[in-house]
Amino acid sequence: MNPRVLRWALVTAAVLGIAVVVRVYLSKNGTEVASPAGKVQQASLAPIVNQGNIGIPDPAPTPDLPAADVPLALFVDDLRERAARGEAAAGCRLAAEFSRCHQLATRRADHDRWLAERRRALDDITDPARRAELAGNIDRELAFRESQLGEFEAHCRDVPLPTAPDLGRIWRNAALAGDPAAMRHYASGNAFAWGNILDVLPELAIYRQEAERLALLGAERGDFELALSLASAYAPGGMDARTLLQQAVEPDPAKALALYRHLQAALARSGNDDTRVAREVGDRIETLEATLDPQGLERASSLAAEMASRWQPLEVRGARDLHAAGSLRPVDRRWCGR
């Protein structure tokens, strides 16, 4: 054979061999590519309902998670193993425990700042009786605060904490596994702390593609708070401090009105129509009804009817602590697996 032809044949064979190796590697190691996230990104947003085909499981409640007062070091490895097997509640609890322990340094700094302020206030008092009274009050509050902080520190002791990007990924995995609390925490944007926002830019790029679909699915499955946050994201507004979900979602007044009507019906059904959040929802409905054109109002009515007939009923919890601004309270670790 001609030497030039032989060399060309060898090069071609080598290139094909490398391509085969790469293809095999990706097939064996492409778990993340083939994960539910890919399905989330490909899911259609029309119609707004029936989003259950995007590959997010709907697991049953998990009652066998560790008690809240057990030190994290005693069960963190078990949670890791269960989360790695795809158990949604374990992944949520793992993420929630890590998020809570990440707050320890801030809690300690707040405590030290409080104590320094009280000591300065004590130094400014010259009257012996008033000084003694204030010193006694400080000592009692100090004992309580240090007891609380000591329990916090003991719970998190000897547990290495993940980086901010890793913590965001743990929350995401638990959300994609279907835990309702994790879906709410991740879709709302609460999985990313503002103090670490520059550390999680790649994770935020993924979040931006997934947030709306996950929020829709959570609302469809009956998550009142997530539906409330999503309604605020769809509502047009000029707020300076926008939540991450509000930044990830394009305004759509008709969808916002449909969701607010759906929320209002749930509040009335649960006996919470006299709460602050019910009044705020009512105000937003009036504003949207006054600004939408007839076509938008008709679309909102159609969407609201679809929600009422096809979505699971919204479950209202802690309505008196809620507001309609869009931000959600952080997920409590005891909510995982419910």
The mean predicted confidence, pLDDT, of the chain is 85
More confident residue, 44 or 229: 229
Whole-structure pTM value: 0.80
Average pLDDT over residues 38-57: 46
Interval 234-282: pLDDT, tens: 998 766 678 999 999 999 999 999 999 999 999 999 999 999 999 999 9
Q: What is the percentage of the chain residues whose pLDDT exceeds 90?
A: 70
Q: Is the pLDDT of residue 1 over 70?
A: no
Q: Is the pLDDT of residue 4 over 90?
A: no
Average pLDDT over residues 31-54: 37
Q: Is the pLDDT of residue 41 over 50?
A: no
Q: What ranges do the domains of the chain cover?
A: 72-102+162-335, 104-156
Interval 188-212: pLDDT, tens: 999 999 989 999 999 999 999 999 9
Average pLDDT over residues 150-159: 95
Q: Is the pLDDT of residue 51 over 50?
A: no
Work out the number of other CB atoms within 10 angstroms of the CB of residue 65.
21
- Amino acid 239: pLDDT: 62
Query: How far is CA 321 from each of CA 70, 106, 329, rounded to the nearest angstrom?
Result: 28, 24, 9
Owner of token pair 């790029």: 205
**Rg value, the chain, Cα:** 26
* Residue 55 falls in which region: left (phi positive, over 0), alpha (psi -120 to 50) or beta: left
- Amino acid 54: pLDDT: 57
- Alpha-carbon distance 245 to 232, whole Å? 9
Work out the number of other CB atoms within 10 angstroms of the CB of residue 112.
10
Short-list 54, 43, 57, 66, CA closest to 85? 57
Interval 71-110: pLDDT, tens: 999 999 999 999 999 999 999 999 999 999 999 999 999 9
- Amino acid 35: pLDDT: 38
